[in-house]
Structure 1
């Protein structure tokens, strides 16, 4: 894959750009195998390749420039907007919306936020595309000042882009390097975007996390379900469950599945999905994963953990080590913390592992490991 912005030194987000995809995938496999080399019982399945380009179904674009001439992309070292409206890793269906969105910025007089002067209103536009083409568009604003203008011109935007299902304004008043704020104003009647991933229509709310590579996320859930069904547990916990991807794929007759996630929005999405699809035996609770596990008097047959990059941490790893749980599925976006967590659980031996290339053109990847009690 070639990228003019990378070649010009304008954007270096894709650190492996220019390396052949076969080399990228082999390098990620070597990296993960090296980190987990202390587990000789671990059998590696072939890595799962991704499309090299157009795989990102969620675009988080910094808005720069002016209302009359906005840019969607990143900021340079001086805080000026760099246009990445032809970024090769973003899904084509999202790229196709950018001309209409930049025109909307001008029509609604949305002044891009200027980082050096700390003036302006529109900080980011976040666009998510479902496999069926449906779209969620979020405007990240410094205040509510521009919201009436967005509402006024929204019908024209929806006419121009009828694929849009959900529009919201996120209010982010603080001047700091974070993507969004805590308040969300829904501007359309619909508040959820159905995302068909694997065999489940996940319901994505505006502040819910979902994997940005739908193809690889589907493969990840299929692999997890295969291992879960082979273990045939009666009870399953999905810790850090998000909108319920693993938990919903683990559902089966006679099986009790509990999903735990701190985000109340994500939990509500998971509950709605389970109800709409008639899945039984599922329970979801909005709470901290570690606190939940430590408070239980009985352990399940199988635990799924899908933590953020920091890993599950010593406290939860210690509980899993002591718990008597016979099977653990660990899905990791950071093999360094995965390796550290495995060292804290010596009674749970990694028996199978797989690298899934969730993030082509970068050094990042997803790994899933099946652990069984010795």
Structure 2
């Protein structure tokens, strides 16, 4: 029998945070998830829902407050789904993220003795995003824009987002005020009516260049010259204004066709000494300051002396590959998205690297062929999506046995799972370094260093 029932009111002690930032309290071992509660707090709650093995409750009042609690500075923090832990001080966030990674490594990876270092965070953990994807819509006859509310496609309307650039704020607010005057109707997802679906704002941190992407339902866009002039007047540093056409009834942001309305097709940025060209749909890390920290950590763990051949699986547009190419004898990158490989080749040429090779295809198929061709790796770097490494790629690593593996992860749970598989195949995890790429959110990246033991 469950120790609580729906509509119960009680005071509980909060023990932990979930991966999405909800407080966790236990009543006779039965977990309750409480949005807004922090570890160490005594809180009065109202039980909303009980399931077989856990339940949900609403925070009514804080009886004893955490020393790490702060007032969230964002005006829509309670409704917007972009940030989960603005109410936790940055010191508290760093403690939480280190524990998140350590708990995953211990509980899922069964590796309690692997050192998990304190998180490398930011001096100023605000205004860090160099890319903003802003949905536009209508509500009671007025234009709304901002970010989606938690677990919904309802827009939390705002003119300010304090983790994105001031330029993105200015464009979001300026377009919102002028859209109807220009005769541009915001898109309605439910009815599939309207024109403007999303506005994407990208900024090169090192160059200051701005790209604005207008995602529209139709290609025909009579007011586009007016829109271009408005954007240029709002942010004079704008270097590129692009239209992407997405006619489908879908919540996928981009369509297949992209055309340049004004300015350049791409903008440029630098991470360290490496230059990158960024197009409307290029994958590029959204926090360039911490990307340099993350990739610097990967480079340190790779331990390159200039004599090594490196394989970069999941190489994307070559960001990590080109960082490694500064120190390696030769770097080979593989990525399943052909356009990303074209971007990687172009970025290698842009920087004058002649010691790189990029190929499109599944890593688990391309890498074994490279080995058969005599292209063995001394160091293998993986930077997989949240679901972790493909099982076949892990089998390939265990078969080919590169001396060192550097695993860059955006999901502690799948990192821990994959480390366990590699450990069972003869690797030993030396250490793990978390890096805070997304302050104010619960997401945490980490870099692990593994060595093969004969």
1:93/1:133 contact within 8 Å kept? no
Of 318, 340, 362, the match for 2:441: 362
Distance 1:125 1:318 in 2: 42
CA shift, 1:155, in A, is: 4.4
Distance 1:36 1:97 in 2: 42
Matches within 5 A, 1:198-277: 198-230=272-304, 233-252=307-326, 255-277=329-351
Partner of 1:328: 405
* Alpha-carbon spacing, 1:189–1:264, altered in 2? closer, same or farther (3 Å): farther
* 1:140 is aligned to 2:215: yes
Partner of 2:271: 197
Of 90, 102, 116, the match for 1:33: 102
Distance 1:32 1:125 in 2: 34
* 1:74 is aligned to 2:147: yes
Of 392, 395, 401, the match for 1:315: 392
Distance 1:237 1:78 in 2: 39
CA shift, 1:252, in A, is: 3.6
Which protein is richer in strand relative to its size?
2
Matches within 5 A, 1:139-158: 139-146=214-221, 148-151=222-225, 153-155=227-229, 157-158=231-232
2:117/2:432 contact within 8 Å kept? yes
Larger Rg: 2
Partner of 2:56: none
Distance 2:169 2:226 in 1: 24
Distance 2:158 2:410 in 1: 25
Of 33, 37, 58, the match for 2:131: 58
Partner of 1:97, secondary structure, is helix
Query: Cα RMSD (Å) of the superposition?
Result: 2.4
2:119/2:434 contact within 8 Å kept? yes
TM (norm. structure 1) is: 0.91
Deviations 1:221-265 (A, max 9, x none): 111222224465521111111121111111147711112122333
Gaps of 5+ in 2: 1-71
Distance 1:229 1:104 in 2: 54
Which protein is richer in helix relative to its size?
1
Partner of 1:22: 91
Number of residue-to-residue matches in the alignment? 371
Gaps of 5+ in 1: none
Between 1 and 2, higher relative CO (CA 8 Å, sep ≥ 6) is seen in: 1
CA shift, 1:189, in A, is: 4.8
Distance 1:33 1:75 in 2: 30
2:306/2:327 contact within 8 Å kept? no
* Alpha-carbon spacing, 1:12–1:205, altered in 2? closer, same or farther (3 Å): closer
